[in-house]
């Protein structure tokens, strides 16, 4: 009984601590690139335009930054949308995407530095501070 109450309590704390800002999972290597994900809105109606802005940073220089949507059956939203950074230490890019789906989804982002891949070293944001996620609620027109 005590463990069920404790489990419920911890679940409530986790749910109450969530907000609509990016969630970051995985903290492995602070020397990896970083990526910030910002959306114009988290609530949208099919046919509306969503602005997706990424900012990547890395002291070794960035190769690329990209975003993707899940689940993976969202048509043109699902594959990676890549911006080549050409070695910039910081790069920002904004995509304007018309939303033509009628289901909720999430967007994740990543960055890769110029030294990728080196086994045993972190050269992607997902290997360092983690992958930021934004959740999108799609409302019926």
Contact 111, 67 (CB under 8 A): no
What is the average per-residue pLDDT within 95-116?
96
Decide if 73 is inside a domain.
Answer: yes
Decide if 58 is inside a domain.
Answer: yes
What's the pLDDT score for residue 118? Answer: 85
Q: Round the average pLDDT of the chain to a whole number and report it.
A: 83
What's the pLDDT score for residue 3? Answer: 44
> Band of the pLDDT at 102, cuts 50, 70, 90?
very high
- Whole-prediction pTM value? 0.78
Nearest in space to 87 (alpha carbons), one of 110, 106, 108, 111: 111
Q: How many domains does the chain have?
A: 1
Domain that holds residue 76: 21-138
What's the pLDDT score for residue 72? Answer: 87
In the predicted structure, residue 19 carries a pLDDT above the cut 60: no
Q: What does R_g of the chain's alpha carbons equal in angstroms? A: 17
Decide if 15 is inside a domain.
Answer: no
C-alpha distances out from residue 76 to 20, 80, 99, Å: 24, 9, 9
CB 109: neighbour CB atoms within 10 A? 26
Decide if 6 is inside a domain.
Answer: no
Decide if 38 is inside a domain.
Answer: yes
What is the average per-residue pLDDT within 53-73?
96
**CATH number of 128's domain:** 2.60.40.10
For the record, the structure tokens of 21 come out as 């800002």
pLDDT, greater one: 68 or 17: 68
Decide if 13 is inside a domain.
Answer: no
Decide if 10 is inside a domain.
Answer: no
Contact 83, 66 (CB under 8 A): yes
In the predicted structure, residue 20 carries a pLDDT above the cut 70: no
Decide if 4 is inside a domain.
Answer: no
């Amino acid at each position: 009984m005590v463990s069920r109450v404790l489990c419920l309590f911890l679940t409530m704390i986790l749910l109450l601590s969530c907000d609509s800002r990016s969630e970051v999972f995985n903290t492995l290597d602070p020397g990896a690139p970083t990526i910030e994900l910002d959306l114009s809105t988290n609530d949208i109606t099919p046919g509306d335009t969503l602005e997706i802005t990424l900012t990547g940073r890395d002291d070794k220089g960035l190769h690329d930054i990209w975003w993707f949507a899940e689940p993976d059956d969202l048509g043109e939203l699902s594959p990676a949308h890549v911006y080549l950074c050409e070695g910039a230490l910081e790069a920002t890019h904004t995509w304007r995407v018309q939303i033509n789906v009628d289901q909720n989804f999430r967007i994740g982002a990543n960055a890769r530095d110029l030294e990728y891949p080196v086994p045993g070293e972190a050269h992607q944001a997902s290997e360092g501070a983690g992958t930021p996620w934004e959740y999108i609620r799609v409302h019926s027109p």
